[in-house]
Amino acid sequence: MREYLVEALILNKTPSNEIDFTVDLYTKELGRIKAKITSGRKITSKLSPHLEPLTFSLVRLTEKNGFVVTDALTKNNLSYFRKHPVSFAKALKLISAIRELIYSEETDPKLWFWLKKSLLKGEIFYNQFLKIMGYDPKLAECRKCGLKFINPVRSSETASYSGNILSKEAGYGTSNGVKYFLVEDQIFLCRNCGFKVKGFLQILELD
């Protein structure tokens, strides 16, 4: 049996049976893992309150045929997000995207440090997250219409237009360029094409 003491970002917590929870964690040392909280659903559980989604906690784990949480202590419950509904929704989209894009036990120190810095400051920029994950918006184009990423308009430069849509050759323009990342399909969409997609929980709007 191996034992670990790690700081973890809590991604999710779901019932696994009548009395236990399964918690989804992201850590610097172990990457993304799932662990059992024995008797976590009981009202007397001392561990479950420290393992709420969107929380940084210090977690002690044992590993033998899977991970089990043996102790946990909240380090930061990221209260800023819980006080601001718009920011809270953005943070929930982020941890949902992490669950979708990151495989089990895949470590990425750069992502871990970005998460710590961004969440503790209360600032989330999806562009930065996607670049770390290997989906750089500046190199992307809309999967449906082919429109490429467009930087903000510069006063000394102009962009080519075709009606209300920027041409693919335009070097600069407005927000009509690549605007959304569809997490489930791992594709970029422009604003016009993104409006036609349902299920906005899985869509990240680029900054």
Instruction: Extract the tokens encoding 102.
Output: 């990151």
Q: What is the pLDDT of residues 90-133, one digit of tens each?
A: 999 999 999 999 988 889 999 999 999 999 999 999 999 999 99
Instruction: Extract the tokens encoding 105.
Output: 């036990």
The answer to whether residue 194 scores a pLDDT higher than 50 is yes
Domains of the chain, residue spans:
1-124, 126-207
pLDDT at 154: 43
- Tell whether the torsion through CA atoms of 80, 86, 87 and 88 is positive or negative: positive
Residue 91: phi, psi to the nearest 5?
-65, -40
The answer to whether residue 167 scores a pLDDT higher than 50 is no
pLDDT at 57: 98
Q: To 5 degrees, how large is the angle CA 14–CA 75–CA 15?
A: 10
Is residue 5 a contact partner of residue 63, using CB atoms and an 8 Å limit? no
How does strand 165-166 pair with strand 172-173? unpaired
Q: Taking the model in full, what pTM does it have? A: 0.84
Nearest to 30 by CA among 60, 50, 54: 60
Per-state percent for the chain, helix, strand, coil, to nearest 5:
25, 35, 40
Beta-bridge partner residues of 74: 57
Q: pLDDT tier at 74 (50, 70, 90 boundaries)?
A: very high
Across the chain, what does the average pLDDT equal? 86
pLDDT at 169: 39
DSSP label at 206? P
Instruction: Compute the distance between CA of residue 29 and CA of residue 41 in angstroms, rounded to an integer.
Output: 27
DSSP label at 37? E
Q: What is the pLDDT of residues 29-73, one digit of tens each?
A: 999 999 999 999 999 999 999 999 999 999 999 999 899 999 999
The segment with the largest mean pLDDT, out of 125-134, 144-153, 175-184, 187-196, is 125-134
We find that the CATH architecture of domain 1-124 is Beta Barrel (2.40)
Is residue 21 a contact partner of residue 55, using CB atoms and an 8 Å limit? no
Close Cβ partners of 1 (under 8 Å, ≥ 6 residues apart): 62, 63, 64
pLDDT at 52: 96
Close Cβ partners of 83 (under 8 Å, ≥ 6 residues apart): none
- Tell whether the torsion through CA atoms of 142, 100, 84 and 129 is positive or negative: negative
